[in-house]
Amino acid sequence: MANRRKNPRKVEKETDWQERVVQIRRVSKVVKGGKKLSFRAIVVVGNERGQVGVGVGKAADVISAVRKGVADGKKHLIDVPITKSNSIPHPTFGEGGAARVMIRPAAPGTGVIAGGSVRTVLELAGVRNVLAKQLGSSNPLNNARAALEALAALRTFQEVAEEREIPIENLYSK
């Protein structure tokens, strides 16, 4: 009977979620007795099949901060539409704080041409051919959030056709 219990838990833990730590920072808070040190971890969580999230965790030690970041990332998941060529359907733009991110689809075989945390977000979303540029701030958290906003704004041809209440074939006709 104990064997039956362990199997479902094991299957549940063996998910295809990947986690990547973008940044770990030591932060301090000034309190009455001096300075209280803690760690802040920025973590990107994704399944490489169209779902991705960014999370932040703070704790007294690094491992707990990363664990909290993963939990936070799973709470803020978005779905990303991916084309047959492992790219995105159309160019998009996102903002997070002072960070602005431009993301454009690319031809098959291009790879992920992006920098910093935007690259991590795109890779864990499952996008394989894309061009991206960080504009403005170089803050990893704001850039990751801007990339997430840009990916969340993507729409497929099917969604646009349904919104306009026309068949997909008529989408291009004038």
Residue 82 has a pLDDT of 92
Residue 22 has pLDDT above 90, yes or no: yes
Q: How far apart are CA 81 and CA 90, in angstroms?
A: 10
For residue 35, the one-letter residue type is: K
Residue 11 has pLDDT above 80, yes or no: no
pLDDT tens digit sequence for 133-148: 999 999 999 999 999 9
Q: Model's pTM, two decimal places?
A: 0.85
Question: Where is mean pLDDT largest: 12-21, 131-140, 161-170?
Answer: 131-140
For residue 131, the one-letter residue type is: L
- State the chain's mean pLDDT as an integer: 89
Q: 3-class DSSP state for residue 138?
A: coil
Name 113's bridge partners: 131
Residue 36 has a pLDDT of 94
Residue entry with tokens 């002072």: 98
pLDDT tens digit sequence for 49-99: 999 999 999 999 999 999 999 999 999 999 999 999 999 999 999 999 999
Residue 159 has pLDDT above 50, yes or no: yes
Q: Per mean pLDDT, which range of 113-117, 159-163, 170-174 is the poorest? A: 170-174
Q: How far apart are CA 53 and CA 75, in angstroms?
A: 8
